[in-house]
A and B are shown apart, each in its own frame.
Chain A
Amino acid sequence: MNAITLNNITKTYNKGTVLAVDDVSFSVEKGEMFGLIGPDGAGKSSIFRMLTTLLLPDKGTATVGGYDVIKDFKAIRGILGYMPGKFSLYQDLTVEENLNFFATVFDTTIEENYDMIKDIYVQIEPFKDRRAGKLSGGMKQKLALCCALIHKPEVLFLDEPTTGVDVVSRKEFWEMLKRLKKQGITILVSTSYMDEATLCDRIGLILGGKVLSIASPSDTIKAYPEKLYGVKSANMYKLLNDLRSFKDTINCYTFGEYLHLSVTCTEDEVKKYLQEKGYDDVKFIEATPTVEDCFIRLLKEQNERNGNNNK
């Protein structure tokens, strides 16, 4: 039995004028860590809210832990852990008070499931008497995770847990998630940071309410259709413009140190073109596509499909 299933889920807002989730179907196996990757407004939070029974879908069906999200919502609410987008903790309560409160809300105590959260809690334990509002972003996030885990949920929903948090804390957070996975909890996590995608078992790329691809990170990357080059020179901006105006370029965009380029011709033909343009210091490497490259590719395809409708 799959831990989470979605079948043709659609959601609109504002009396049907805003299409937030467009016919989405996928499933998550028990014990899997599934990442929903996409930018703001892609539909991630709406999907989360439907799965946690906070919103009703317009169309389609979904189950969590085998229970239907519409009919059996009470049962689902007993087995899930949820960390919504904004850090939803009581700012005026201390760390310990927050934890106690959420334990009671789920009819348990801190001691009962302490081993679940021990790894994480020890990091914030020194601050247990500090008000939640005065914690740093990284600390709040750890506390929120503890509160979501305190009742030993079967399925954990984390909606953009690392947004707005510094790089170091983000890395630590994902380490914690990996350890949690070992305990057999199914985790559905959303993020807009593409680099975090590689840490999941499978990822779904979502944009404009549609899921564009579902596969393991490595399979997603393998599916990249063309060869991808990294190109750089002293004047990157000029290079970018020149490559974009090259007739055989499929796509060219900035990607950190190098530009990423995909072309319909050979590498030598590109080099020839650049030489003609007066470049003498161009460096070419073969680039391994990342999740971000895949995303950009899918975006381009979608734009081309929609023609002028997409802005």
Chain B
Amino acid sequence: MKQLLSFVKKEFYQVFRDPKTLVMLFGLPVVQIVLFGFALTNEIKNANIVVVDNAKDIASQQIINKIEGSKFFTVQKTLMNSSEIDAAFKSGKIKLAVVFPANFNQDLLHLNKSSIQVIADASDPNTATTLTNYITTIVSDYQSQLSQNSAMPYTIQPEVRMLYNPDLRGAPNFVPGVMAMVLLLVCVMMTSVSIVREKELGTMEILLVSPVKPLLVIVSKAIPYLILSCVNLAAILLLSVYALDLPIKGSIVLLVAESTILIMTSLSLGLLISTITSSQQSAMFASMLGMMLPTMLLSGYMFPIENMPIVLQVISNIVPAKWYYIIVKAVMLKGLGFASIWKETVILIGMTLVFLVIALRNFKIRLE
């Protein structure tokens, strides 16, 4: 018994004297509760939708008022035609469109039934389903209201169209997310750990003391992982297309090019981490904290970014995965071309350059 107590006491001393353990024990749970409790939610708020009111009559007005009144939507009333609506979806500006036919009320009065078109961006099937459900609930509420005051039941049929992912499969949503994760994981963690390992083992000392230029050392570290990641990328794409039945609607070349940019971004992030950590353990820790967590939580693939508090939305802008996710969905699912994603591409390239510059500046040509 006494032995047990001795051990327990010692363990407590060791735990409280190690800053890393303390961070994990106290810091992480607090952060998690705050994040998951307040910030990360599947609940939708203020989703951007458009309402095309071709009827402009009482019935449509009333339904639109209800939609506007709900906290779920930010409504933009517009008179777009169908190709304009398509374009709006493609650019990712809207998540849902409600289209009222020209004789909405008239049909209700004379035929006791009418229909409303509900078009949703199903590249994120969860969001699409939720939003569609909100709309259909509002519509059916109105429907019951109407039916109350009359002898004959009214029927308003929502015609739901799910864009890009008619079967509402999960794959189109998670595959881009997984692609980002895998490429980031391999490049960031492996690169940083490999460089730091040389520091730990002492072989770095000899390299530093030789005529070899530091740039060469860094580049030689990055190249194997660059190649391996390309192989990984190929594997994922092949699996998605053939095993998961997820066709690539847009240009494969563009997709590969953009993915290569992300690989560069992660390699430079890995290099940056290697210049600020001195042990393999801390390199891994930093990679987890600086890369995995933000990618999982703030890239938009598990939790929609629009639903997070402003602070997190701003932070998500510096997560490379966020931009990559937008790019991949645009190219793979929506079949878009470079013109739609040039902004995101520029941002990724910019991040890569920033990381590289900082990493090179930090790379020490001496030991301290």
Contacts and interface: CB of A to CB of B under 8 A. Distances in A.
A82 interface: yes
A63 interface: no
B210 A77 contact: yes
Contact of A53 (B201, B207, B209): B209
B366 A107 contact: no
B211 A77 contact: yes
A54 B210 contact: no
Interface in A68-90: 74, 77-78, 80, 82, 84-90
A106 B368 CA distance: 23
B211 A102 contact: no
B367 A54 contact: yes
Contacts of A77: 209-211
Nearest to A147: B206
A107 B212 CA distance: 9
Contacts of A78: 211
A55 interface: yes
Interface string B176-216: 00000000000000000000000001110111111110000
Given A53-B209, A54-B209, A88 B202 contact: yes
A141 interface: no
Contacts of A90: 203
Contacts of B208: 54
B206 A106 contact: no
Interface string A77-119: 1101010111111110000000000100111000000000000
Nearest to A144: B206
B206 A82 contact: yes
Given A84-B205, A86-B201, A105 B366 contact: no
A52 interface: yes
A77 B366 CA distance: 12
A149 to B, nearest CB: 13
Contacts of B203: 88-90
B214 to A, nearest CB: 12
A102 B211 CA distance: 11
Interface of A: 49, 52-56, 74, 77-78, 80, 82, 84-91, 102, 105-107, 147
29 contacts: A52-B209, A53-B209, A54-B205, A54-B208, A55-B366, A56-B366, A56-B368, A77-B209, A77-B211, A78-B211, A80-B209, A84-B202, A84-B205, A85-B202, A86-B202, A87-B202, A88-B201, A88-B202, A88-B203, A88-B205, A89-B203, A90-B203, A91-B201, A102-B206, A105-B207, A105-B211, A105-B212, A106-B210, A106-B211
Given A53-B366, A89-B203, A106-B210, 9 more contacts: A55-B367, A56-B368, A77-B209, A77-B210, A82-B209, A84-B202, A84-B206, A88-B203, A105-B210
Interface of B: 201-203, 205-212, 366-368
